[in-house]
């Protein structure tokens, strides 16, 4: 089925496979932002769903020298003050949780910036003169993660919070790397030579459980979201070493038959003890859970490994959607849910 290009084209009507192939281009997008240099104590980023993914990615790379917290909620932390750099992010610009958080941040005198593709957030930014990183059009927020990452970095750069010449060079090199490494996963590559298709074929009919260490955790969470939204497929994610302190035991007993596909996202850049935890866990849980599908992140540095792993997960989950007989792009039930909240 996954080698039938006509069938793939019919089910992938919005060409999400093409979006996944071209997403390296997002890393070269230049945002026009300007603001005075800021003196701050912390950064709070408010965003939901796909809009929070870039912020999570940024905690692994490039990381922060000041406290950084992601808010996926209506309410903001009690510590938010006039010494907080508050970034409100929503692709649609109309996410109600983010708008609520923004209103509270304004009442605390926080220094505000906006990342959005339109909607109320863009109107607010223009009306009040907030720094704005305007996102280009994308099929869905989850397909604009790398745009969002560049937008976040552009805001941090213009605010003087990060010295980013080296970071921009890394992004440029990583975009060239990503453009090349996706080629073995394209639909024209048959299943017997296409690792993304092979994992999709292993996962179909099972619930996916994705594990990673701290450095690849943002990628594991992106895999989870992509299984949910691309494949309309239930999935969970967790990270080591926390896994070994609770969830590890959950695999040892009931249910006896476990209809899951375990996917380990591993990196040679993780702490040596984290790498050993994967190996020991696999050995001790042998026979009590499905043998994990091991994905070894490729790349010369952390950024390349993160981008490689995220992009690989996009292809895997889109192929899973095609096997499920559905269009990967729409998330109709989420849109229906949002409308139902206002009824």
Strand partners, 89: 115
CA–CA dist 175, 27 (Å, integer): 6
Q: Encode burial over 111-123: b for 16+ CB neighbours within 10 A, e otherwise.
A: bbbbbbbeebbbe
- Of 9, 183, 276, 338, which is the active-site residue? 338
Q: Which of 32, 110, 117 is nearest to 71 (CA)?
A: 110
Active-site option among 229, 233, 270, 304: 229
Q: Which of 6, 137, 245, 253 is catalytic?
A: 245
Element (H, E) at 46: strand 42-46
245 is catalytic: yes
The region that residue 144 occupies, defined by phi over 0 for left and psi between -120 and 50 for alpha, beta otherwise, is alpha
Note whether 18 and 61 are within 8 A (CB).
no
Half-sphere exposure of 142 (CA within 13 A, CB side): 24
Q: Do the beta carbons of residue 235 and residue 181 sit within 8 Å?
A: no
3-class DSSP state for residue 143?
A: helix
Contact 215, 253 (CB under 8 A): no
Active site residue 233: no
**Of 174, 157, 185, 247, whose CA–CA distance to 28 is shortest?**
174
Structure tokens at 244: 């070994």
Nearest to 84 by CA among 61, 109, 107, 104: 109
Per the annotation, the verdict on 127 as an active-site residue is: no
Active-site amino acid positions:
229, 245, 338
């Amino acid at each position: 089925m996954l080698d039938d290009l006509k069938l793939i084209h019919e089910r992938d009507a919005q060409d999400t496979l093409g979006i996944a192939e071209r997403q390296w281009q997002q890393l070269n997008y230049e945002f026009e932002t300007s603001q005075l240099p800021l003196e701050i104590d912390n950064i709070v980023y408010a965003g939901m769903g796909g809009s929070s993914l870039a912020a999570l990615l940024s905690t692994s790379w490039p990381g922060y020298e000041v406290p950084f917290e992601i808010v996926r909620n209506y309410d903001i932390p009690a510590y938010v003050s006039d010494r907080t750099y508050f970034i409100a992010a929503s692709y649609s610009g109309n996410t109600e949780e983010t708008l609520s958080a923004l209103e509270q941040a304004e009442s605390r005198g926080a220094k505000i910036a906006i990342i959005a593709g339109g909607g109320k957030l863009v109107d607010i930014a223009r009306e009040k003169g907030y720094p704005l990183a305007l996102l280009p059009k994308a099929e869905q927020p989850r397909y604009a993660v790398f745009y969002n990452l560049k937008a976040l970095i552009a805001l941090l750069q213009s605010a003087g919070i990060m010295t980013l010449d080296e970071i921009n060079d890394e992004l440029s090199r990583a975009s060239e790397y990503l453009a090349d490494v996706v080629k073995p996963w394209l639909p024209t590559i048959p299943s017997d030579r296409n690792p993304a298709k092979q994992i999709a074929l292993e996962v179909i009919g099972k619930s996916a459980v994705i594990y990673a260490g701290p450095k690849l955790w943002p990628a594991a969470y992106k895999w989870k979201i992509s299984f949910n939204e691309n494949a309309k497929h239930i999935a969970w994610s967790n990270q080591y070493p926390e896994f070994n302190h609770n969830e590890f035991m959950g695999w040892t007993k009931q249910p006896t038959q476990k209809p899951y596909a375990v996917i380990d996202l591993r990196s040679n850049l993780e702490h040596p003890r984290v790498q050993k935890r994967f190996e020991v866990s696999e050995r001790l849980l042998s026979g009590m859970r499905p043998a994990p599908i091991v994905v070894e992140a490729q790349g010369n540095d952390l950024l390349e490994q993160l981008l490689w792993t995220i992009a690989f997960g996009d292809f895997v989950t889109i192929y899973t959607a095609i096997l499920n007989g559905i269009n990967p792009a729409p998330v109709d039930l989420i849109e229906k849910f949002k409308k139902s909240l206002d009824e």
